[in-house]
A and B are shown apart, each in its own frame.
Chain A
Amino acid sequence: AQSVTQLGSHVSVSEGALVLLRCNYSSSVPPYLFWYVQYPNQGLQLLLKYTSAATLVKGINGFEAEFKKSETSFHLTKPSAHMSDAAEYFCAVSEISGNTPLVFGKGTRLSVIA
């Protein structure tokens, strides 16, 4: 069975500061890993994905994440936070084989302070 743990249900940073959202996964098979962002009353937008190619993955809006197998982690970072980054962020895992559903973490709400 697969699972995802997101450390911190709420993270607050100042505008221009580093954003770090933590995600650890558990999977008995090689995983695919994703970060999605959800703005209020909207759907989930894919930020980036890890699919067993490069371990450092660059996504949209300046976000990136690094897959670390030894730490079973896939933390999301952005060098400089912008007010528009305030949203709910979900880390998700799925199996490599087949059309498998996503298993989401509980989400981390990011607040950006001016």
Chain B
Amino acid sequence: AAGVIQSPRHLIKEKRETATLKCYPIPRHDTVYWYQQGPGQDPQFLISFYEKMQSDKGSIPDRFSAQQFSDYHSELNMSSLELGDSALYFCASSPQPNQPQHFGDGTRLSIL
């Protein structure tokens, strides 16, 4: 079965650079969530989209923005990167309200 696809799997950036993470949800899933998992930490919710509109917002820094496109894929744009942004970034999708979220394998972002 198709799963959530995230790209790239690994990304290395330097401070103050920008990064774009991509998420391709499971086909016919219209809801996308982004989570950040720091080293040894639990995942923290950043932002979500439903039918291409932002549906909820968590602890996402102002330096980050995201959107969901007409084909339902989503991108997380990160600017002015800081050392503390080093983390595993997960995307999850669900087919409709109240359905479990299915996670991708994540993008590991390392800031040097």
Q: A interface vs B, CB < 8 Å?
A: 32, 34, 36, 41-46, 49, 51, 90, 96-107
Contact = CB atoms under 8 A, between A and B. Distances in A.
Interface of B: 4, 31, 33, 35, 41-45, 48, 50, 55-56, 58, 90, 92, 94, 97-98, 100-106, 108
Contacts of B101: 46, 102
B56 A101 contact: yes
Nearest to B46: A101
A99 B52 CA distance: 13
Given A51-B98, A100-B56, 11 more contacts: A32-B98, A36-B103, A42-B106, A43-B4, A43-B106, A44-B43, A44-B92, A44-B103, A90-B43, A97-B97, A106-B41
Task: List the 10 closest pairs (A to B, CB-CB), nearest first.
Answer: A101-B45, A104-B42, A44-B103, A43-B105, A43-B103, A99-B31, A99-B97, A106-B42, A99-B50, A104-B43
A101 B32 CA distance: 10
Contacts of B108: 41
A47 to B, nearest CB: 10
Interface of A is mostly: loop
Quick one: which of A49, A102, A104, A106 has the most chain B CB within 10 A? A102
B88 to A, nearest CB: 9
Given A43-B105, A99-B97, A107 B42 contact: yes
